[in-house]
Amino acid sequence: MSVIKDTIARVKQMDRDQIEFQQAVTEVLETLEPTAQRHPELVKAGIYKRIVEPERAVIFRVPWMDDQGNVHVNRGFRVQFNNAIGPFKGGIRFHPSVNLSIIKFLGFEQIFKNALTTLPMGGGKGGSDFDPKGKSDAEIMRFCHAFMRELFRHIGPETDVPAGDIGVGGREIGYMYGYYKKIQNAHTGVLTGKGLEYGGSLIRPEATGYGTVYFAAEMLSTRGLDFKDKTVAVSGSGNVAQYAVEKVIRMGGKVITVCDSSATIVDESGIDRDKCCYIMDLKNNRRGRISEYASEYNCVCCEGENVWEVLRKQGIKADIALPCATQNELNAEDADALVKNGCICVAEGANMPSTPEAVRIFQEHNILYGPGKAANAGGVATSGLEMSQNSMKMSWTREEVDQRLLIIMKSIHKACLASAEAYGKKGDYVTGANTAGFMKVARAMLAYGIV
Ligand code: NDP
């Protein structure tokens, strides 16, 4: 048995209930076969077996009190996956679906994504099964403080630097950073996604969405195409989706969908700048439901269905698809319908939003398919820029950061294509992203010996 098959089998046996983690490991390792054949020294040093095992995974109790004085206990996680090329780095997710499998899959993906950014960052991820929906500000604050009361001992600016993810935005980062600062009596770059007044970087909130669109634009340009006058389907309506929508509008595309976990809206007249501002206010300030958009702008609202399901069932065409909500949101049936309706490009703002079967369909039909670890790397790349600014005790302008983000996304795109070609899979962004990210980390691991 090859080391790759052997490693996948071992993960499936040892982590048998961790479905998402197995999916991520299988997806990455299957594309690494040519690296194992070309670099026997990596096999000899056990790199493949070592890279699927986190450095450590911490699970902790998070007790907190609601506004009525009732005590609740949630489970907290931090998986420090790999710090071969820099401190552990990756977001914190607050969502009821969070468990060890989801945090491990995200942490594992993060290793390769961070390596692709060209910045010195290792891979990690954390979170809790806490559901922020319907909670008051005071409850969110008490939960964030309780979460940091344990997390603080595992992180540090040179050790592990968390950021936001689903359910964790500027408000939550503020509460967590405030508590860390209080108990450590230190103002350091221990979290990214901070507010501008206390060490944040301009463009960090925009970076994942902008970066995804920059990456899609690079893919389109390989076929002489761009966003102008293209119909674009975006899923989600959170941080990543909002700024993806904003950037697509600027690039001349027409966005016709967004969703949340309750409903999808289809606005065939296009979401323009004003409507995009409405979504931002609705989701970030009023914390409302996307169905309110349909009442405001008199468009279609499909309750209980996600974007890809709605496009499929109603036969709606999209030239470009940007899944920006959550993992496994887009299945084989959805992919089939997208392809049949003329979709030419899929760039993943979310992490692992397409199922393995959906990815196969995109690849078989020669769709420009940018996997999340490449397409959404702009977020963590700009977190890396925030860390640099914190270390230098200075801040760059909006234009400077945006320019660096654009350069990084172009260089990730280039690295993916070069590595895909080097390993015999020309034009395959999945192989390109996985092999390019992996080789950088693997070489560093090799240099350290067996540690
Ligand atoms: P947010 O919490 O800001 O937004 C998530 C959005 O997705 C919300 O609109 C949410 O709906 C919706 N959503 C969640 N689950 C479902 C579901 N099952 N069906 C339909 N819609 C759903 O998170 P982000 O925008 O930050 O993250 C989105 C994705 O991007 C995640 O996969 C994340 O890991 C990835 N990502 C994020 C980065 C970042 O910088 N924030 C960086 C790189 C990747 P509702 O409002 O109902 O909760």
Atom index in ligand 1 nearest the CA of residue 260 equals 11
Q: Can you give the pLDDT at residue 380?
A: 97
CA of 237 to the centre of ligand 1 (A): 7
CA of 295 to the centre of ligand 1 (A): 23
Ligand 1, pocket-test mutation among 212, 235, 261, most atoms within 8 A of CB = 261
User: Closest Cα to atom 23, ligand 1: which residue?
Assistant: 166
CB-side neighbour CA atoms (13 Å) of 96: 5
186-195 tens-digit pLDDT: 999 999 999 9
Ligand 1, pocket-test mutation among 106, 131, 161, 239, most atoms within 8 A of CB = 239
pLDDT exceeds cutoff 90 at 1: no
CA of 241 to the centre of ligand 1 (A): 8
- Please, which pLDDT band fits residue 386 given cuts at 50, 70 and 90? very high
User: Closest Cα to atom 33, ligand 1: which residue?
Assistant: 350
Q: What percentage of residues in the chain have a pLDDT greater than 90?
A: 100
User: Closest Cα to atom 37, ligand 1: which residue?
Assistant: 165
Average pLDDT over residues 219-238: 98
Average pLDDT over residues 124-151: 98
Q: Can you give the pLDDT at residue 55?
A: 98
Domains of the chain are: 3-187 (3.40.50.10860), 207-366 (3.40.50.720)
Q: Can you give the pLDDT at residue 85?
A: 98
Q: Can you give the pLDDT at residue 274?
A: 98
Q: Can you give the pLDDT at residue 113?
A: 98
Burial 254-288 (b: 16+ CB within 10 A, else e): bbbbbbbbebbbbbeeebeeebbebbbebbbeeee
243-302 tens-digit pLDDT: 999 999 999 999 999 999 999 999 999 999 999 999 999 999 999 999 999 999 999 999
Ligand 1, pocket-test mutation among 260, 289, 291, most atoms within 8 A of CB = 260
432-451 tens-digit pLDDT: 999 999 999 999 999 999 99
| Residue with tokens 């806490």, as numbered in its chain | 130
Average pLDDT over residues 362-369: 98
pLDDT exceeds cutoff 90 at 324: yes
210-223 tens-digit pLDDT: 999 999 999 999 99
Catalytic residues: 125
Closest by CA position to 118, among listed 449, 436, 443, 430 = 436
Q: Can you give the pLDDT at residue 331?
A: 98
The rounded distance, in Å, linking the Cα atoms of 318 and 311 is 8
pLDDT exceeds cutoff 90 at 39: yes
Q: Can you give the pLDDT at residue 319?
A: 98
Q: Can you give the pLDDT at residue 162?
A: 98
pLDDT exceeds cutoff 80 at 338: yes
pTM: 0.97
Average pLDDT of every residue of the chain? 97
User: Closest Cα to atom 3, ligand 1: which residue?
Assistant: 238
- Please, which pLDDT band fits residue 165 given cuts at 50, 70 and 90? very high
Atom index in ligand 1 nearest the CA of residue 380 equals 42
Q: Can you give the pLDDT at residue 278?
A: 98
Pocket of ligand 1 (CB under 6 A): 164-167, 169, 208, 236-241, 259-262, 306, 324-326, 329, 349-351, 376, 379
User: Closest Cα to atom 19, ligand 1: which residue?
Assistant: 261
The contacts of residue 414 (CB under 8 Å, 6+ apart) are: none
Range scoring the smallest mean pLDDT among 8-12, 35-39, 71-75, 391-395: 391-395
